[in-house]
Amino acid sequence: MITDPIADLLTRIKNALRVRKKTVNAPYSKIKVAILKILKDAELIEDFKVVGQTKKQFVINLKYDETGEPMIEDLKRISKPGRRVYLGYKDLKPLRGGFGFRIVSTSRGIMTDIEARRRKLGGEVICEVY
C-alpha cells in the first residue's frame, strides 16, 4: 500500500527521466491529473493519457531538449503525510530566481505558486519543480 501517492508519481517521473525513458506509467487519481496538467502547460512533459477501464493508469510521455537532457531537473515533494506545509500568498517567493515553481493546493484548486500569488491565495505546497 502506497502511503503517499503523489510522492510515488514524482519518484516514477524522476527515475524514468534519469534512465532516459520515453514514457512512464502511474496509477490514476484526480489530484495527479491536476499536477500533470500543470507540468504539461509548463511544457515539462509532452503529454499524458488515461488508459484502462477498471484499473485506470496514466501513460506519461516525457520531454527532453535537443541535447537529450530532461526538461525537468528535479521534482521535490514538500508537504508530506506526516508533515503538511502551508504558505500564505505573501510567503510564496520566487523559486531559484524564477527558474522553478511550486505546485500549490489552494481553496480554488491546484495551481502554480505564480498563479496563486497573482490571485492572492495561499495553500498547501505539494511540490517544487525545477
Domains of the chain, earliest start first: 5-62 (3.30.1370.30), 75-129 (3.30.1490.10)
For the entire predicted model, the pTM comes to 0.94
Residues 92-125: tens digit of each pLDDT: 999 988 799 999 999 999 999 999 999 999 999 9
Residues 60-94: tens digit of each pLDDT: 999 999 999 999 999 999 999 999 999 999 999 99
More confident residue, 35 or 99: 35
Q: What is the pLDDT of residue 98?
A: 79
Whether 113 contacts 92, CB under 8 Å: yes
- For residue 39, give the nearest of 54, 51, 26 by alpha carbon: 26
